[in-house]
Amino acid sequence: MAITTAGWKYLEQLRGKVFDYEFWGRMKENPKDFTRVRRLGFKDVTLLVLNSSKRSNALETYDFMRDVTNKEPVTQEAFNQARRKISYKAFKEFFEDSSAAALEEKDCLLFHGYRVIAIDGSLVLLPKSQELVDRFGKTTPCKGKIYARVSLAADVLNGFLIDGEISGHDTGERKLAKRHIEKDLCEKALYLFDRGYWNSEIAASLINKDRKFMMRIQSNHLSDVFGVDKRSGYFDFHYKEYGIKTQLRFFKFELDSGEMEYLVTNLPEETVPNNELHSLYHLRWGVETRYNELKNLFKIEHFSGKSRQIILQDFYATLTIMNVTAFMILAANFKAKQKRKGKHNKLEYTVNKTFAVGVMRNRFVRILLIDDPVRRVENLDLLISDISKAVSAVRPGRAVSRHNCINKIHKRHPIKNAT
- Taking alpha carbons only, the member of 147, 156, 145 closest to residue 120 is 156
Beta strands 244-254 and 232-239 are antiparallel
Q: Is the pLDDT confidence value at 411 over 70?
A: no
306 touches 419 (CB < 8 A): yes
Mean pLDDT along residues 254-280: 89
pLDDT, residue 256, reads 76
- Taking alpha carbons only, the member of 192, 175, 150, 154 closest to residue 404 is 150
The residue type of 142 is: C
pLDDT, residue 406, reads 45
Q: Which residues contact 394 (CB under 8 A, 6 or more apart)?
A: 347, 348, 349, 350
pLDDT, residue 169, reads 93
Confidence of residue 274 (pLDDT cuts 50, 70, 90): very high
More confident residue, 241 or 94: 94
Q: At what angle do helices 5-18 and 42-50 cross, to 10 degrees?
A: 140
Out of 146-160, 200-214, 230-244, 275-289, least confident range: 230-244
Share of the chain above pLDDT 90, in %: 56
Mean pLDDT along residues 306-328: 95
Confidence of residue 413 (pLDDT cuts 50, 70, 90): very low
Q: What's the pLDDT tens digit per position in 217-256?
A: 876 666 666 666 678 888 889 898 889 999 999 898 877 7
Angle at 135 between CA 61 and CA 299, to 5 degrees: 40
Mean pLDDT along residues 124-135: 93
pLDDT, residue 335, reads 86
Q: What's the pLDDT tens digit per position in 130-177?
A: 999 999 987 888 888 999 999 999 999 999 999 999 999 999 999 999
More confident residue, 256 or 376: 376
Confidence of residue 418 (pLDDT cuts 50, 70, 90): very low
More confident residue, 110 or 405: 110
For the chain, the domains span 195-266
362 touches 309 (CB < 8 A): no
Tell me what the pLDDT averaged over the chain comes to: 85
SS3 85: coil
pLDDT, residue 220, reads 63
Q: What is the DSSP letter of 241?
A: G
Cross-strand bridge partners of residue 111: 114
**How far is Cα 350 from Cα 152, in angstroms, rounded to an integer?**
23
Out of 97-106, 137-146, 390-399, least confident range: 390-399
More confident residue, 206 or 142: 206
**How far is Cα 351 from Cα 386, in angstroms, rounded to an integer?**
10
123 touches 405 (CB < 8 A): yes
